[in-house]
Structure 1
């Protein structure tokens, strides 16, 4: 059996409609408020937005570097908080025991070290692969080979991200706390469905980027009429809102994909036993 995009989308929409209230509360507390708070509270965020608007990549990277060096502890706390929120929402929408919000949050807090471990392992693998392919092209000194290495690295990284995309649902829903086993199971579950998953994720990303751009533009214009301070506050609120909505949608999509591919895996196992 192959992964079905339409079925996954319908299941994701169903999860969203059934759990919208609780998901909105968790997303608001763990994603909207922290993200908007950082956007408002850190003055350097304004410098980053100015650098992004200028289109100067070097200036933008310099601001990003200074931001993370100066406030690494803030982003560490933010990562922990958002990791707990993400895992709690996944547990809430798909745990068979129908957990309460408190139980889902407890699952998120208990599982977040495993999630962070899986993310670090995935990031390490991506860095190694990207460095290998880009480095080989760069060592030759030939521009075409360097460009080809970059393209190959991008394709391979996309493949790895898709193959390991179910690590969070496996940790939160199945209760697998070993990050290596979570990544291994994600790789196994996505076997034979990688290309369909890539297309599914890309379609959702494109749709969300377009929608968020329209929302940002409209709300940005509305707040701009109220003055400079209101515009800055409005941009922070809008960014936090878009971030929270994206996470809620991602949770429902990942839970639906995990459910469908787990069903296929269980069916293959039963067929083998028979």
Structure 2
């Protein structure tokens, strides 16, 4: 089946409109509130590291993430449950919020397993050649092979972009099968999907930069106190929630288009 960008976008926005109240509840619980809490627990996230050595600017950021890694890990887990729960809401059988959250929790471990398999595979297939090229051919060879590896990385990520909807909407909790099915569903549409994701990603990045500047301005105006962090964290959490809902609906729309109608939809058509 040839992927239709316009149809996918229209179906994604229609999903947002048809399920906005339920989507807002889950996005608020799993995306907005955790981001707001993180802004209060890790204020450096909004204002940056306190001291940056001009001779080694990366050291401060490395220390920042080392000191606060547990919070970012916890945020990632919570948001993963939220993303999977959002996808569950878009199932054709239309579950309740409670059922969707239960689906998100049940799917979490298989989803993490699939991501670990993907990371390990990419590390071996891409990381090893880059390291060998840099060691044997010097920095120039490492950079050249690194650029080629980035192209392959982008291609692979497109091929496996439907793992989460395959697990939730397709009800397939086998990580290996989910990875394989995502690859199969995207066959013949990789370039179209890449272009679609690229346009969406550019929009996310541009809006994210603007919002970061605005939230940083609020923090600077209100001062590095609770009020400033609350406003900045609320703005950051709101945008994260909105984009999470939109991206989840896009993935659901892409999956449903390429996978075809579910058994529930087919049975309803003949009732």
Q: TM-score range by the shorter chain?
A: 0.7 to 0.9
Tell me the alpha carbon deviations over residues 192-244 of structure 1, each in whole angstroms, 9 at most, x when there is no partner: 11111111111101111112222333344345433332333322222222221
1:32, 1:241 within 8 Å by CA — same for their partners in 2?
yes
2:84, 2:107 within 8 Å by CA — same for their partners in 1?
yes
Q: Distance in 1 between matches of 2:187 and 2:85?
A: 26
Taking a change above 3 Å as real, the CA distance of residues 198 and 148 of structure 1, as seen in their structure-2 partners, is same
Tell me the alpha carbon deviations over residues 163-194 of structure 1, each in whole angstroms, 9 at most, x when there is no partner: 11100001111110101111110010001111
Query: Are residues 1:143 and 2:139 paired?
Result: yes
Query: Larger deviation: 157-166 or 136-145?
Result: 136-145
Unmatched runs of 5 consecutive residues or more in structure 1: 267-274
Alignment equivalent of 1:153, drawn from 134, 149, 155: 149
Taking a change above 3 Å as real, the CA distance of residues 105 and 243 of structure 1, as seen in their structure-2 partners, is same
Tell me the alpha carbon deviations over residues 95-131 of structure 1, each in whole angstroms, 9 at most, x when there is no partner: 2211111111111111111111111111112222331
Taking a change above 3 Å as real, the CA distance of residues 128 and 50 of structure 1, as seen in their structure-2 partners, is farther
Taking a change above 3 Å as real, the CA distance of residues 143 and 78 of structure 1, as seen in their structure-2 partners, is closer
Q: 1:50-199 residue pairs with structure 2 within 5 A? A: 56-68=57-69, 72=70, 74-93=71-90, 95-199=91-195
Unmatched runs of 5 consecutive residues or more in structure 2: 264-271
Query: Are residues 1:247 and 2:248 paired?
Result: no
Taking a change above 3 Å as real, the CA distance of residues 42 and 214 of structure 1, as seen in their structure-2 partners, is closer
Give structure 1 regions of 4+ aligned residues with deviation exceeding 6 angstroms: none
Taking a change above 3 Å as real, the CA distance of residues 152 and 191 of structure 1, as seen in their structure-2 partners, is same
1:32 — aligned with what? 32
Q: Distance in 1 between matches of 2:135 and 2:81?
A: 42
Structure 1 residue 263, shift from structure 2 partner: 2.2
**TM-score (norm. length: structure 1):** 0.86
1:270 — aligned with what? none
Structure 1 residue 17, shift from structure 2 partner: 1.1
1:136, 1:149 within 8 Å by CA — same for their partners in 2?
no
Greater helix proportion: 1
2:14 — aligned with what? 14
**TM-score (norm. length: structure 2):** 0.87
